[in-house]
Each structure stands twice: as structure tokens, then as C-alpha cells.
Structure 1
Amino acid sequence: MTPTNIRIEWSPSPGAVRYLISRNGAPDIPIEANAGFLQGNRFIYTDVGRKPATLHTYSVAAQFPAPTPPGRSVPVQVLTPSALPPQNFKATVSGPNAVTLSWTGRPESTSYRIIRNGGNLPATVLNASGGASHVDQNLPPGQYLYMIYSVIRLANGEELLGEFSNPVTLQVRPFNIVAVGDSVMWGQGLSDASKFTRKVANWLGAVLGKPVNLQSVAHSGAVTYPVPGEQATENSILPGEVPSHYPSISNQATTLAPMKVSPSDVDLVLVDGCINNLDIKTILNPFGSDDELRNNTRGYCSAGMQNVLTDVGRVFPNAKVAVTGYFPIASRQSNLAFMVPLWVTVGAITAGVIPPDPVLGGIATLAYRERSAERSDLFFQESTSSLQSAVNAMNSMPTPLGGNRFRYASLPFGPENAYASPNTWLWLIPTRGVTEDEAFNSRSRDCQTYQSSDLLCYGASMGHPNVAGAQAYTDAIKSLLTPFLSEWRTAHVGPVTAPEDSLVVRVQPGPIELVGGTMIVTASDGPSGPPLQGAVQLNGVPAGALGAQVRYAFQQNNPTDILAKVEVQGRRPRSFTIPVRTQSIAVNL
């Protein structure tokens, strides 16, 4: 038996030439004795197109040649099951603004209808064909709830709507990235298309198959926290290419970024920091103390950055966090002709410390380059280990602050990629019309507007990753994030499956009487769930409450099986058959 089809069987009556099936008092259905319905020693007829969740009464009359009168069977009542929703109802984000809904169909259904609610749209009924999927398109970002039900066409042409499935809910929104940090994270001197933050966003959009929203509040010159004794101007926001200690990286994470996107909806945070607490002048200074550089690097890049990451973890509890590091600025392969202008421009040395004598000057610059290379490598090694240490410390913390969601991007910079080296990945000092970076013209205008007297503003790109360097950052971050892709696909693409609405129904019958008996029917969520409240129908008649003693009567004093129906508030009804002589039963429905 299905919700719409009832199989009727009876044994042949010797001598009968025809059988008449009576259903609910309607005109008899004639069945010729030789019409092919006899299978073995039983006649079998399927009555199709019946109404689900309905009590039907059948009897069969045998007709004989005259003068033998017909004989009719005792009526039998059958309760058809409810028209249940399709199974395995799933929703999957399948495009920038699309959701694909899929299910396992039911044979009695002719088509399906889906209710969609959410996304600031009015509740809508979507007509689906008799297939097993439907694509809901042109959806604005938001949370959506879907339910599906069957459409059944009865034998009389009436269209009947089945029961609703449990809802499935999913979020249609872009993948959100926040970038906080200093000039390296900002992409000093690069066009937007060349920045590694944009390249990573484009890559994630392609592999996840959905829009990516990148919000970069990183800023050239930013320090991790306000510098003691320095007037912090956190609310004074200059163009990103114009160097300024403020807004600090902590302020970017805790104040500016949450103004751009809801922190709970952020999926990935890209963050760097600590070099501006030291500054490039200190790193390249050939006369500086290595111990002081080592200790300061450890302080700012380990404990200091752990504080920044703590802010990031607290504000963005659902995001993965990728921490990017730095690179050796100078190396022994750096061209001396370009190193002298760099030293002088950043203030690492003054022009007067280089002897005017060509021989002595050459010897001095070689020595200065050696020391700058040593100190650059010292900073690179110490900052790398310190940032990794900060990441490790965050991963050891429990969720939601930590929870093993922080990663450090190891960068493949070598001596040949340092400033003015043969395969440099860093911008040289920009010169109009000669060695301009991609943002030189726009930065020059901004520098004139905000810091017209500061030559470091016009040349701010020097020593920062160029297009090739930005690509190296991109590749390192992609490698770092690849293990998270499957998780992100599941979280943002699906599928999300509607929970199955299942009950365990138990029956404990009492003594059978001459005309009926008593029983107690209970229902629970699973075998060990608490008892549920609801009502019981027996043989189509309301019999009482779940958990209470209910009475039943035999049909025409005939002890046949009992047709039961359980109704729990907020759940779809359950129909099943109770063998009248059972001791006790438990049914998974």
C-alpha cells in the first residue's frame, strides 16, 4: 500500500464468473474472473489514485451464474499512509546567487512544490517538475529557509498537496575576507589587480564558485599598537599609499574592519605587522647593535603580534587567520649603485660617512652592504620564528579565541630576490619616467595633498614587494589555505540536508474484550528520547491522548488489525497497523 494505491487480494470462489469490489459505497468495480487478475491462487487488484491519510472500506462480492445468488465478503477498512514529503531534501549554494535543491522523489507524486522564505524577500512557492532537483536563482544575499512537499493527482482529477518536509536553512552570502596590516599587506606601489590580497580573493572566488568580498583596511606605515609618547591619531585616515603609523593594526582589526562587514560573517583574515615598530632604517643601519635588533624583533613580532592576533581572534571568531611575514631587504647580491641611495633616503647612513676617495669609498660601501645584508637576514630569521611562535601560541588556545585556525605563510625569498639583486622582488626607489611603480602617479598626488614635504612619501614603494614579489606572497598564501578549501566548500556551498522527522512509537495493549480492548500508545524522538505529547486515532476515530489508556472496538465484531494514527503537535502524522493480538510493539516511523 502506498499513499494513493491500495492492493486488494482475495481467494477465488468456486464457480464465480465475476467479482464486484465495493469501495466506500461507490459504484462497484467489476472484475471478470478470467480477466488476468488471478496470480497463483489469489486475485490481486490495485485501486489507484486514492486519497492519502484516509480510511477506506472495501468488500468483494462474487457473482455466479443464475440462479446462484452473489456472496459478499465482510468489509475491511484500510487507512492509507500520509502523503509524505520527498526524502533526502538538500540545499546547495551552486552559484553567485543561486541555490540548487535536490531530493529523492516518491512514486505517487506527480510534481513538487517548494516554499522559500528569507533574504528579505516575500515567502514564495516554487513549482518544481516531477524530477529530483530545482535551481533557485537571482537570490540577494541573506539566510533562506526551504521546505518541500509533494503534489499528487487523484483518480478523480483532484490535486492533493502532501505534507511539508522539515526545513533546510542556509546562508547565501559572499565569502568575506578582511585584510589588516602595514604597507606590505596594503600592497605598496601596486595596482589593485597586482596586490596579493586581490589575487588571493580572485583565486578563492574561482575555486569556491561564489563571490568574494575583500575589505582591506591595511595602511602603509601602520604599527601594531600606538607608540608610547607618540600622539595616536587613530581616527585620522590617510590614503593607503601615504605612510602613517595610524590607524594602528589593532585599531584596523577592532574598529575599522567591523564597520565594513559583520565580524561573525568573516571567513578569512589576512594580517601582518611588526616591521614598522622597528622601521627599515634600523634594519639596514650598518652601525646598529645586532643584539638590540634581535631583542626588539622578538618583542614586537612575537609577544606584540600575539596581542594583535588575540584581538583578531576575539573580533572574528569564525575566521581562519593567515599571518604573512617579511623578507631579507638587502643581501650580498644587492647592487651597490642602488644601495647607497636607499641608505641615504631611509636615513640608515648619511652621505658623509662614505669616503670621497673612490677606493676607500668602494671599500666602505662593500662593508656597509655586508652589514646591511647580515642585519636584513637577522631580521628575516628572527621575525619568521617570532611570528610562527605567535601563531603557535594562538592555536594552543581554546575556541573561540584560538582553536587551531591560525596559519603562518612561509615566504620563499632568497638573496637573489632582495633589493636591487639580479632577480629582485622589491621595488627600487621610484624615479618619474624611469622606474615608476604602478601607484606612483596617484601616490604622488596624495603625497602632495597630505605630506608634500616628506620625500619618503613619494618614494614609499622602495623595498616593498613588486609584481613578482606580490605573486610570491600569493603563491605562499594559496598553499597555506588549500587545506581549508573542503571545509569552506561545505560551509558555504553545501549541501545542507533537512533533518529527517522520525519517531519511535510503542504500543502496550491491555486485555482483549469481546468487542474491543484497550492500549497505551506512546511516541518519542528516537529510542531514548523523552515522551511526546499528542493524540491517537484508532480505526479512524479519535481515541485519546498519547500516553493515556485508549479504547478500541472491533469492526463489526471482527477482531482484525487496528488502523492507528499518531498526531504529535508540530510534526507530520504517522499511520501504521497494530496486529490486534500482539503483546507489545515498537515501530520506527
Structure 2
Amino acid sequence: MNNARTIISGVACSLLMFSTFVVCQTSQPPVSSDRQINMLVLGDSVMWGLGLKTEHKSWHQVKTWLSTTTGRVVVERIEAHTGAIIEGQDVAENLKLPDGEVNVAVPTVNDQVNRSLRFYVDGSKVDLVLVNGCANDVGTRNLLNAAMSTSEIRQVTEVKCGVPVEKLLRKITSSFVNARVIVAGYYPFFSEKTRNTIFLKGLARSLLRSEPGTPPINNTSMLQRLIANSKVWYEASNRSLAAVVARINAESSNPRITFAEIHFLPEYSFGAGKSHLWGFDNSPFNKLLVLLSLGKKKPGTNDERRKQRNASCDEYHKRQDSDSSDKRSAREIDRLACRYAALGHPNRKGAALYADAITSQLKSAISGTTWLSESGVRARQ
């Protein structure tokens, strides 16, 4: 029973955790070339592509499309990472970062900008910035807590996805003066198509944080509240992000920011029949192993990076000789949360949905402006 509680606690802490500690990936340093396009990726686990092989990540699909469309080499710089928040204490410049699959809060997205400027030296060399952020600032403990009302979810979303994002985007546009900036939206976690399985019921209850004396909530009501909160989160975050982009663009004669809304159907949500999000490994063989082990074998996730992430999580959260009993318990919950972090994140179909939304915006930018034109590239060299 204690083992089961620990597993659920770990999963509860990890479900829909939006960020990644990235060991900033790049093919090579930026080089002056008429044909090279420098693409910078900032944000949390959604932009990082948690659980996906590199070639399936949304940013990689955008890179491939952009290279094919323009006939130029596209060189990426990946600063996005699982668990990233927008604002907070910055990290030391020489800090050794863990694997991008490991969910940690820093570097913040603001610090990702600073790190990128140190790398490029000249920010004008950046042609395209893909960015998202604010889900981790709102907090999964709020978004997945059935005790939270829709009005509370709306309020915290408007606060965290408003002014902090505006400050971030102003910093990005002033740092990378020639870059087009695409802001990607989020998606609803649950919907009326989410199947109310036994595990989901247990998970929802483990995430419940109600005030003392509050009447108990039954399983059906919990799921209905989570569905309602997910819808409000999706609508409020879209509205706030779009408003921020419009407000900044209105101040410029050459607006460079675009909001890419993700059109996410109910059947794409977590636990739905056509889910576009990572879930549990429900293969007959895996189910049989879990059953025969009498709960000793933990259910796995169905993402593409679970083995590599599990090893990275075990290393990052390994026990220390000086750990107290409470510290060991907390570390084990963090380790399990890390292992299950891909749950609720875009799978290959979900990543393709993001790539389509972003490339749709890029098509308009390429055809309707001088951005990426040969003369434009030469002018900034």
C-alpha cells in the first residue's frame, strides 16, 4: 500500500509538468552566411518536446520545414527545458545542467534569454525565436486540483500569463532585434472525452487540496471539475497570451510577434480515445507484468524517451549519505515525478499539431514581409 501511495504521489507531482533542464543544444555556433537561419527555442517542456525523439519534436519539424521551404541551412539553439518558470532566481553562469528530460524550474525563461545572448554575442544574428511559458508559473498543483474553482483558475492564469509574459516578450524583442517571435499556446488537459479510469480517480484524489471542513467530493464530481478547470485554463491562457502579443505589436510599425493558438479537440485530451498526449503503457504485456507483480512493478509511460529519462532521473535524484529519513522520502517522490514527467505532454501527434500551428504563422511571415529575404539577411551581417 505504501508503495502504491508513493507511485501515485510521484505521478501526481509530475503530470503535466511543463519544463526541461536543457543542456543547450545547438548544431554549431552561429556563422555569417546568406543561407544560414538561426533559430532559438525558449520555454518549458512543451517547447523542449518532453518524451519525444529529437526528430519528432515540434521545433525539429519546424526546422525541417523552414529549411525545405527556404532552401537554407537552419541552425537551432535549444534553451527550453522541462519545469521552466518565467521568473525566479537566476542560476550561476557555469552551472552544470541536467538532461533536458529532468524536470527542474531553472534556468527561468528570462535567464534562457540571457544565456542565449552570451552564446550569440550579437543578438541580431537570431532570425527566429520559438517560445512558450506560464504553465509552470500557474502551477500544476492549481491546474490539477479539483478543489480549485473555475474563477480561481481563471484569475491565477490571467495573472501569470499576462504581465510576466509581456515583460518576457519585450526582453526577447529588444534582445533579438531582427527575429520573428512565435508564441505557442497551451491545450486543455482533460475533456469530456477523458475516460474516468480507476487510476485517474486515484490520481485526481491524490491531487485534491481542499480546505479543512470542506464537504467531500465524489469521483465523478472531481473529474467534472477537472474538465471545467482545463477548459477555463485553455481559454484564459489563450486570451491572455493573444492580448499580450497584440498589445506589444500595436506599439510597433514592424510587428514581429505572432501567437500560435493550438486548436486542441476534446478527443485529443489526456486519457481520451484519440489522445495527442503521452499516457501510460497500456500494452497487454505491460498490464500482465504489473498484475503478476502484485503492484511491485510500476506502470510505465508510453513515450519515446522513458529509458533515457529514467536513468537521468535516477542519477539526478540519487540518495545522499547525509539524507534524513524525510529527505529520502521526498527525494524518492521527486525521482518518481521525474520518471513520469512525460505524462500529459504532446506525443508525436500532439507535436505535429504544434508544428503545424507554428509553420502556419511562418508561411504568412515569409510570404507577406521581407523577413528572411536575401537583402534582409545581408543587411544584418
Normalised TM-score (structure 1): 0.50
Partner of 1:383: 237
Equivalent of residue 359 in structure 2, options 457, 460, 478: 478
State the one-letter code of the partner of 1:364: N
| Residue 321 (structure 2) aligns with | none
Give 1:409's aligned amino acid. A
Pick from 250, 261, 265: which aligns with 1:414? 265
User: Is 1:343 paired with 2:204?
Assistant: yes
Q: Distance in 2 between matches of 1:387 and 1:203?
A: 25
1:142 shift after superposition:
6.1
Could you tell which deviates more after superposition, 291-300 or 464-473?
291-300
Deviations 1:515-559 (A, max 9, x none): xxxxxxxxxxxxxxxxxxxxxxxxxxxxxxxxxxxxxxxxxxxxx
Instruction: Note closer, same or farther for the CA distance 1:291–1:442 as it changes in structure 2 (3 Å cut).
Output: same
Cα deviations across residues 55-94 of structure 1 (Å, max 9, x unaligned)?
A: xxxxxxxxxxxxxxxxxxxxxxxxxxxxxxxxxxxxxxxx
The 8 Å contact of residues 282 and 348 in structure 1, kept in 2 or not, is answered as no
d(CA) in 2 for partners of 1:251, 1:421:
36
- Equivalent residue, structure 1, for 2:85: 223
The answer to whether the aligner puts 1:449 opposite 2:303 as a matched pair is: no
SS of residue paired to 1:336:
coil
CA distance in 1, matches of 2:243, 2:114: 22
Equivalent in 126, 138, 141 of residue 278 of structure 1? 138
Query: How far has the Cα of 1:493 moved from its partner?
Result: 3.8
Partner Cα separation in structure 2 for residue 257 and residue 442 of structure 1:
30
- Conserved 8 A contact 2:269-2:275: yes
Note the alpha carbon deviations across 1:349-388, whole angstroms, 9 max, x for none.
38xxxxxxxxxx9x92211110000000010000000000
Give, in whole Å, the separation in 2 of the partners of 1:495 and 1:307. 27
CA distance in 1, matches of 2:369, 2:68: 13
Counterpart secondary structure, 1:322: strand
Q: CA deviation at 1:433?
A: 8.2
Partner of 1:190 in structure 2?
A: 52
Offset at 1:295?
Answer: 1.3
Identity of aligned residues (%): 31
- 1:350-369 paired onto structure 2 within 5 Å: 364-369=218-223
* Separation of aligned partners in 1, 2:110 and 2:350: 26
Whichever residue aligns with residue 78 of structure 2, its letter is S
Contact 2:149 2:229 in 1 (8 A): no
Letter in 2 for 1:320: R
8 A contact 2:146–2:204 mirrored in 1: no
Alpha carbons of 1:496 and 1:341: their partners in 2 closer, same or farther (altered >3 Å)?
closer
Following the alignment from structure 2 to structure 1, what is the Cα–Cα distance between the partners of residues 361 and 56?
19
- Looking at CA atoms only, which structure, 1 or 2, has the larger radius of gyration? 1
Give deviations 1:90-112, integer Å, cap 9, x for gaps: xxxxxxxxxxxxxxxxxxxxxxx
What secondary structure is seen at the aligned counterpart in 1 of 2:345? Answer: coil
- Any conservation in 2 of the 1:234–1:246 contact (CA below 8 Å)? no
Query: Which amino acid counterpart does residue 465 of structure 1 have in structure 2?
Result: P
Which residue identity does 2:34 align to in structure 1? V
Q: Does the C-alpha gap of structure 1 residues 434 and 286 become closer, same or farther in structure 2, counting only changes over 3 Å?
A: closer
Pairs within 5 Å for 1:44-83: none
Distance 2:201 2:250 in 1: 45
1:439 and 2:341 correspond = no
Aligned length: 311
Distance 2:267 2:225 in 1: 17
Q: 2-side partners of 1:222 and 1:484: how far apart?
A: 28
The structure with the largest helix share of the pair is 2
TM-score normalised to structure 2 length: 0.75
The whole-number CA distance in structure 1 between the counterparts of 2:162 and 2:377 is 40
Question: Separation in 1 of the partners of 2:119 and 2:347?
Answer: 30
Matches within 5 A, 1:311-322: 311-322=171-182
Deviation at 1:490, TM superposition (A): 7.0
Out of 449, 469, 493, the position equivalent to 2:350 is: 469
Write the letter of the residue equivalent to 1:271: V
Does the Cα contact within 8 Å between 1:332 and 1:415 map onto a contact in 2? yes
Whole-angstrom CA distance in 1 between matches of 2:371 and 2:85: 36
Give 1:463 deviation, angstroms: 0.7
Spell out, residue by residue over 1:126-150, the C-alpha distance to the aligned partner (whole angstroms, 9 max, x if none). Answer: xxxxxxxxxxxxxxx866xxxxxxx
Which stretches in structure 1 are left out of the alignment for 5+ residues? 1-140, 144-170, 351-360, 498-589
Over 3 Å counting, the alpha-carbon distance change for 1:425 and 1:396 in structure 2 is same
Any idea what SS the aligned residue of 1:412 has?
coil
Say if 1:253 and 1:464 are closer, same or farther in 2 by CA, change over 3 A: same
RMSD between aligned residues: 2.7
**1:281 Cα deviation from its structure 2 partner:** 2.5
CA contact (8 A) 1:234 1:251 kept: no
2:227 matches 1:373: yes
1:199 match: 61
Deviation at 1:254, TM superposition (A): 2.4
Q: Is the 8 A contact 1:217 1:257 kept in 2?
A: no
* Pair 1:234–1:284, CA change in 2 (3 A): farther
**Residue 540 of structure 1 aligns with which residue?**
none
Match of 2:293 in 1: none
Instruction: State the AA in 2 paired with 1:417.
Output: Y
Residue 340 of structure 1 and its aligned partner are, at CA, apart by: 2.6
Q: Structure 1 or 2: larger strand share?
A: 1
Aligned residues of 1:142 and 1:173 also touching (Cα < 8 A):
no
The structure 1 segments of at least 4 consecutive aligned residues displaced by more than 6 Å after TM superposition are: 487-490
Q: Distance in 2 between matches of 1:490 and 1:294?
A: 36
Contact 1:323 1:408 in 2 (8 A): yes
Q: 2:150 aligns with which of 274, 285, 290?
A: 290
CA distance in structure 2 between the partners assigned to 1:379 and 1:172 by the alignment: 42
Q: Which amino acid aligns with 1:249?
A: V
Cα distance change, pair 341–186 in 1 and its aligned pair in 2 (3 A): farther
Match of 2:291 in 1: none
